[in-house]
Homo-oligomer: A and B are copies of this chain.
Amino acid sequence: MATEPLITALVQHPCGESVEENLARSERGIRHAAHEGAALVLLQELHTTPYFCQTEEVRHFDRAEPVPGPTTERLGRLAAELGVVIVASLFERRGPGLHHNTAVVLERDGHIAGLYRKMHIPDDPGFHEKFYFAPGDLGFRPVETSVGRLGVLVCWDQWFPEAARLMALAGADLLLYPTAIGWDPRDDEEEQRRQFEAWQIVQRGHAVANGLPLLCCNRSGFEPDPSGCTAGIRFWGGSFASGPQGEMLAEACNDSEETLVVSIDTGRSSAVRRIWPFLRDRRVDAYGDIRHLWIDPHPPAEGD
């Protein structure tokens, strides 16, 4: 049972129109994290661009880039220079007319250790992701790295217990979520508080249910809606790390740039799974209906 502490860092920042300035912010955070001893750095969702999904505009496809591509090469060089594993989040152009919301894991020698393509794609006012991103086709597979098997998921995935569970069953040592979520300024304070807490609770719940530590890195700053249809999004920051009992290990501020450095006790997960052996007791014989959207009391035809 490993008991080495793993120093991790979450780099949270606002984004503007300039890719160069956004990447400079990410890079500043990564350098700071490495200086503090971090071996693993998690960046926020789509950290090189504004959150362009507030509107549906074909010109935004120009923002996409291939993987490997300019950003993975740049971050790969940085990973190698600093000797850190970096989890980046990009708008991937996979082919003409086929794009994904993709997390790329860069190994500390700079090579691409693996990809995760966002599986659950939202579509709500201000979050028109179904227009831009094809749902991922890689399933829920952790990426093997020098710092462990990384169960990388992206934003909307964080509301789905199935995603966290499948990563855990596939051997993830850690759950990681790059995210871009925030408040609708038109909601009242109570609703805003409920949403922020729900977002923390559901993820800490995944940590508990799977006995895994969890990192979540979220964007900060206000971004207006270019169409003027909504009041824009106030990204709520609040990046955090949770232990395998859902205990809050560290939490960033809500409203500005912050690099949160957190030490993870990598032996704790196995210890917690011994006192709470949930994986032993799963009723896999009775979970077949999870593969349905809804369970009709009188199904038209018998399946499983």
Contact = CB atoms under 8 A, between A and B. Distances in A.
A302 B102 CA distance: 27
A209 B120 CA distance: 13
B194 A205 contact: no
A160 B208 CA distance: 10
A247 B194 contact: yes
Given A197-B246, A205-B202, A293 B276 contact: no
Nearest to A161: B161
B122 A281 contact: yes
A290 B290 contact: yes
Contacts of A164: 161
B198 A208 contact: yes
Q: Give the interface size class of chain A.
A: 35 or more
Interface in A155-171: 156, 159-166, 169-171
Contacts of A287: 162, 166, 290-291
A140 interface: yes
Contact of A139 (B159, B204, B286, B292): B286
A53 B138 CA distance: 44
A121 interface: yes
A40 to B, nearest CB: 21
Contact of A209 (B160, B170, B246): B160
A299 to B, nearest CB: 11
A96 interface: no
23 contacts: A121-B281, A124-B277, A135-B283, A156-B281, A160-B281, A160-B283, A161-B162, A161-B164, A162-B282, A163-B283, A166-B286, A171-B294, A194-B243, A195-B245, A197-B247, A198-B245, A198-B247, A202-B208, A205-B206, A205-B209, A279-B294, A282-B293, A288-B291
Q: Considering the complex of A and B, which 10 residue pairs feature the smallest CB-CB distances, nearest first?
A: A205-B205, A161-B161, A202-B208, A170-B295, A201-B246, A198-B245, A194-B245, A169-B295, A198-B208, A198-B246
Given A162-B287, A204-B205, 11 more contacts: A120-B281, A124-B275, A160-B281, A162-B165, A162-B283, A166-B295, A194-B247, A201-B205, A202-B208, A279-B294, A284-B290
